[in-house]
A and B are shown apart, each in its own frame.
Chain A
């Protein structure tokens, strides 16, 4: 097994400009994440946990420092390369699900696959497998508004998985869910890391959710404290 870290964060700093003042969201963060880990980022609001997640996932750019994922310096990629990289390597799960309302569950899951060279038949197979994994095969033809919050989030997870990414990142995935649905969603994320060997990184402020992870990182004022 590969024991090299899959994600290497080195001296990562992010400074936001807000009006006249600079806000340091992340300050010289260095951390490594091993393949198959389920890392939970915790901390109070404004601690920089979401910023760290965004930078690892390549949807934001650091002020300084590097993010290496499988040896690729994400921060150095140009806009178009970065988009392509995200498509292949990162699956996203958001707090507010962010499904496209006009598309059915299956179509939402299919969306990232449209960017790959797969033909329609192969795409359908991948979609079916991903929906099966989150236990929503029979809801494939439903529109997001016909689904419960928990189901919507599970569709979002299926969408994150369908391209078979290296990383699954989740930003407060249970923030909008009731306890039962949250438990289901976290169970799925946990089994992804334990059984499928996926690397999962999740931001949450809920200690109960954090308990599902294999490692917890606590951030405060832009630095890892534990």
Chain B
């Protein structure tokens, strides 16, 4: 037998207690990881490699206000602009879905492929899409989710527009930050709506990331004091503006979450402290035999740390596995998209688990230190 073996045997002595301790640590950390992932999802918009080179131009009034098509020729001529495509949100519903899980945008296919260069797709399919006025390009995630094939028809019922789309899937793409979106010809949308000569937004690719600030101000200046003033910004700050729309409910949820975590920590610490306190008498025997305080503290710490580590492993690993396997997007009605448990989150949770182990050991350690051997021996089980 070694000291370590003794600690292990002792920790597992009361299986029920050990199980409860490990269980409550696991539940706490599962929840902690989940909440941290949720907050991450709500506050950090996804981003891919091309984002630093892309700008978004919207109407200064609001995203709901369209931009005139005639801005295109002016935008093309602004120095630093490599490519521009119209980018109009269609907001259609697929089949009978109330909230469709993928967005659809009307774009200019040729220009589009020059703005979004990093997503992968076969050249043949792109050519086919460009050639077909009612063709569309569908992200692989959506293809898989609805079991679609290239060549299939895709019918979308308009909610923002008083018209429906009847598209044919000409190609697929993947490797973008969100492989769900459907892209189709802006011309087709114009046809259906009677060509109002407007677009939702412009998406632009610039030559170099460090010049994008200049391009942004050049664009804003160009349309100043026109009937459609614009707001140009980087793709990142465009995405962040959606985060800002969450309003103070985000703060509210964050504070509720901290209460939740605090509660569970409290309960866990008390459970683990009780597990150790249960063996007060034994610790007194160890003291009588000649174990010093230092060694007894080590016992207590090793035990509570071990329980916390095991619970942490189950909770954190469980959360990563659970959210990895679950179709969060479907369950949340498309509200949550990625819900990815990133290593950083796991590391932070692991740190909390370690802290739990240490904090739980404090109470019993103090009690043991205070109690004399004689008193300890008098303690009943």
Contacts and interface: CB of A to CB of B under 8 A. Distances in A.
* Chain A in direct contact with chain B (Cβ < 8 angstroms): yes
Given A94-B377, A107-B1, A110-B1, A83 B287 contact: yes
A107 B6 CA distance: 9
B287 A102 contact: no
A79 B290 CA distance: 10
Contacts, number: 70
Contact of A59 (B291, B292, B295, B372): B372
Contact of B3 (A59, A100, A102, A114): A114
A88 interface: yes
A18 interface: no
B281 interface: yes
Interface residues on B, range: 20 to 34
B42 interface: no
Nearest to A159: B289
B351 interface: no
A83 B9 contact: no
Contact of B290 (A87, A98, A103, A110): A87
Given A60-B372, A110-B1, A103 B291 contact: no
A83 B374 contact: no
Given A100-B285, A102-B9, A60 B292 contact: no
B294 interface: yes
B139 to A, nearest CB: 58
Interface in A68-115: 79-80, 83-88, 90, 92, 94, 98, 100-103, 107, 110-112, 114-115
A83 B1 contact: no
B373 A60 contact: yes
Interface in B1-38: 1-3, 6, 9-10, 12-13
Interface string A208-220: 0000000000000
A86 B1 contact: no
Interface string A27-66: 0000000000000000000000000001001011100000
A83 B292 contact: yes
Contacts of A59: 287-288, 372-374
B275 to A, nearest CB: 14
Interface residues of A, number: 29
B327 interface: no
Contact of B293 (A83, A111, A159): A83
Is chain A's interface secondary structure helix, strand, loop, or mixed overall? Answer: helix
B289 A80 contact: no
B6 A83 contact: no
B6 A86 contact: no
Interface in A161-183: 163
B1 A60 contact: no
B282 interface: yes
Is chain B's interface secondary structure helix, strand, loop, or mixed overall? Answer: helix
Given A54-B374, A60-B372, A101-B13, A92 B292 contact: no
A100 B292 contact: no
Contacts of A92: 288-289
A97 B12 CA distance: 22
Nearest to A171: B377
A84 B374 CA distance: 17
Contacts of B295: 115
B289 A87 contact: yes
Contact of A111 (B6, B13, B372): B6
A125 B370 CA distance: 36
B1 A100 contact: no
A84 B289 contact: no
Nearest to B1: A107
A163 B294 CA distance: 20
A84 B285 CA distance: 14
A103 B2 CA distance: 12
Contacts of B3: 114
A84 B290 contact: yes
A160 B2 CA distance: 19
Nearest to A54: B374
A100 B285 CA distance: 9
B289 A111 contact: yes
Nearest to A162: B289
B130 to A, nearest CB: 74
B369 to A, nearest CB: 9
Nearest to B2: A114
Given A86-B290, A115-B295, A98 B372 contact: no
B284 to A, nearest CB: 9
A106 to B, nearest CB: 8
Interface in B289-311: 289-295
Contacts of B373: 54, 59-60
30 contacts: A54-B374, A59-B287, A59-B374, A61-B372, A79-B293, A80-B292, A80-B293, A83-B290, A85-B290, A86-B288, A86-B289, A86-B290, A87-B289, A88-B290, A92-B289, A94-B377, A98-B281, A102-B12, A102-B13, A107-B1, A107-B6, A110-B1, A111-B6, A111-B286, A112-B289, A112-B290, A114-B3, A114-B6, A115-B295, A159-B289
Given A84-B290, A100-B285, 14 more contacts: A54-B374, A59-B374, A60-B372, A60-B373, A60-B374, A79-B292, A79-B293, A80-B293, A83-B292, A86-B289, A92-B289, A94-B285, A98-B281, A114-B3
